[in-house]
């Protein structure tokens, strides 16, 4: 049965990023499956209010103060009035939050549970347990997820991490990977250089993305292989180190720094190369690896986080996160490309069969079906869940939830449900029966049918 779903996250277009495109792609696929989806995020500058994207995907940009790296100020209760209004207006049944650093998402889950709605949460990243930031973040996550319907993680490693961080029952956590719009990442062998081996790196140049490893590895490889060229896209605090390295070893001719590029242009950069190098130190899933393989690149990557789960061994060469190992693996990849021992031309078709948004949407739909079946428990049982969070934290959390209930009563008195207008749903074309059948062979067809919807969404809203 079709659901009314609200996706809530601080991370959404117009700012670029992995979570942003995940929410967009998943929402549009859920709409093609017959559900009604809205997105709630914070306002970006003058972008305040309701906007429509393709397929009648509606976005609420709620005015909120942005604290740090696009996360809003955590105020626990201040989001409740406007959220309640939107959820009632849209007759929402399932609230789906994304990103554990998004306070908007965590607050929305708390308030929706108070209102008795079903909740789902998707975790996109990995966190440690030792540094103060993680400890605080993990406590907040544990608080919010104490009463969650179901949790989705993007990889098995991410699931293990989230289960530990939020003390969850692993059965309530599903693993549904990210996907790529394969048609946007078609290989183009004519663009690749025949005289040079080109190695592509697309990464934000931060220490945790392995920028230091990259800076160390490039001169080693350039010294051994005279026909290797690098193209590095992305910016960040370590960009200056790369530039210094380039000058020190006089590699200006051979190492091209493109700066940050838009997601639409990633494919055009990728098809120029033969090898994709990914030196990261932490990664929950690594969508960019799938994109690179889809473009027909041989992938060299560090074996960290969820990366070993993402691609089959014939597409990837794994290395440990050390300078020597990464150099060795890259040299091995160069040898494989030179001797034509791997056939990268088949990668695109193979990747297309592995990851598709239609598949992700169907599996997410399964999760929605399961949470729709969960009965709402009495308030006291809900409070018990929060009470178990810790000696002091438990009492604090229970207090927060009790205040939340009182706030709900006040809101019901101030803005009675009968006084809130219900919106008319976006007129939809009749549901395509073959979509609901969801055969594997069909999903490829759907991909190509919705080709321009993939990244067209970005242009539609900007």
Residues that bind another protein (CB under 8 A): 126-130, 150, 155-158, 160-161, 163-164, 169-177, 208, 210, 212-213, 216, 281-282, 284-285, 302, 304-306, 308-312, 320-325, 354-355, 359, 362-363, 366-367, 369-370, 373-374, 439-440
CB of 177 to another protein, least distance (A): 4
The CA–CA distances, whole Å, from 269 to 215, 289, 315, 423, 454 equal 20, 14, 19, 43, 18
Pick the closer one to another protein by CB: 75 or 322.
322
d(CA 282, CA 42): 27
> Residues 6 or more apart from 450 whose CB is under 8 A from it?
28, 32
> Residues 6 or more apart from 317 whose CB is under 8 A from it?
298, 299, 300, 301, 329, 330, 332, 333, 336
CB of 96 to another protein, least distance (A): 15
Pick the closer one to another protein by CB: 72 or 122.
122
d(CA 238, CA 260): 13
Edge to edge, the sheet with strand 49-52 lists: 49-52, 58-62, 36-42, 4-8, 94-98, 118-123, 150-153, 173-175
What ranges make up the beta strands (E) of 73-190? 94-98, 118-123, 150-153, 173-175
Element (H, E) at 240: helix 239-248
Could you give the residue ranges of the DSSP H alpha helices within 123-185? Answer: 132-145, 156-166
Residue whose C-alpha is closest to residue 295's, from 200, 395, 362: 200
The CA–CA distances, whole Å, from 101 to 19, 137, 166, 364 equal 11, 7, 13, 21
CB of 363 to another protein, least distance (A): 6
Pick the closer one to another protein by CB: 53 or 435.
435
Pick the closer one to another protein by CB: 84 or 96.
96
Pick the closer one to another protein by CB: 135 or 400.
135
**Residue 259 backbone class (left: φ over 0; alpha: ψ -120 to 50; beta: rest):** left
Tokens of 333: 């990849």
Any bridge partners for residue 150, and if so which?
120
Pick the closer one to another protein by CB: 125 or 453.
125
CB of 305 to another protein, least distance (A): 6
Tell me 1's DSSP state.
-
Tell me 17's DSSP state.
S
d(CA 126, CA 408): 33
Tokens of 190: 């004519």
CB atoms within 10 A of CB 202: 23
Judge whether 203 and 235 are in contact, CB under 8 Å.
Answer: no
């Amino acid at each position: 049965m079709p659901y009314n779903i609200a996706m809530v996250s601080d991370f959404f277009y117009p700012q670029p990023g992995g979570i942003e495109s995940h929410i967009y792609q998943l929402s549009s696929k859920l709409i093609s499956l017959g559900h009604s989806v809205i997105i709630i995020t914070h306002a970006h500058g003058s972008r305040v209010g309701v906007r429509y994207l393709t397929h009648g995907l509606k976005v609420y940009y709620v005015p909120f103060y942005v604290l740090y790296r696009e996360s809003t100020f955590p105020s626990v209760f201040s989001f409740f009035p406007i959220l309640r209004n939107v959820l009632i207006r849209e007759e929402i049944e399932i609230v789906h939050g994304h990103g554990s650093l998004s306070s908007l998402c965590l607050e929305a889950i708390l308030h929706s549970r108070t209102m008795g709605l079903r909740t789902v949460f998707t975790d996109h990243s990995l966190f440690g347990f030792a540094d103060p930031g993680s400890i605080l973040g993990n406590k907040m996550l544990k608080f919010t997820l104490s009463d969650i319907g179901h949790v989705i993680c993007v990889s098995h490693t991410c699931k293990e991490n989230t289960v530990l961080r939020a003390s969850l029952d692993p059965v309530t956590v599903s693993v549904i990977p990210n996907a790529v719009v394969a048609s946007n990442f078609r290989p183009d062998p004519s663009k690749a250089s025949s005289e040079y081996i080109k190695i592509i790196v697309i990464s934000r140049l931060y220490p945790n993305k392995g920028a230091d490893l990259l800076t160390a590895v490039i001169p080693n490889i350039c010294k051994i292989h005279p026909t290797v060229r690098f193209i590095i896209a992305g910016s960040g605090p370590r960009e200056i180190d790369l530039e210094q390295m380039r000058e020190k070893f006089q590699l200006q001719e051979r190492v091209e720094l493109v700066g940050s590029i838009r997601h639409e242009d990633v494919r055009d950069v990728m098809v120029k190369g033969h090898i994709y190098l990914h030196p990261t130190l932490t990664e929950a899933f690594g969508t960019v690896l799938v994109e690179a393989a889809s473009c027909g690149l041989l992938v060299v990557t560090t074996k960290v986080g969820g990366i070993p789960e993402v691609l089959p061994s014939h597409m990837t060469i794994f290395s440990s996160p050390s300078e020597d190992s990464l150099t060795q693996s890259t040299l091995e990849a160069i040898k494989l490309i030179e001797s034509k021992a791997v056939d990268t031309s088949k990668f695109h078709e193979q990747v297309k069969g592995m990851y598709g948004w239609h598949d992700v949407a169907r599996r997410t739909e399964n999760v929605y079906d399961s949470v729709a079946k969960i009965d709402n428990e009495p308030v006291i049982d809900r409070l018990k869940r929060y009470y178990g969070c810790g000696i002091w934290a438990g009492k604090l959390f229970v207090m927060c939830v009790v205040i939340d209930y009182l706030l709900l009563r006040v809101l019901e008195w101030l803005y009675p449900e009968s006084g809130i207008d219900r919106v008319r749903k976006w007129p939809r074309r009749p549901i395509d029966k073959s979509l609901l059948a969801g055969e594997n062979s069909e999903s490829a067809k759907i991909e190509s049918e919705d080709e321009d919807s993939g990244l067209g969404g970005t242009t539609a809203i900007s």
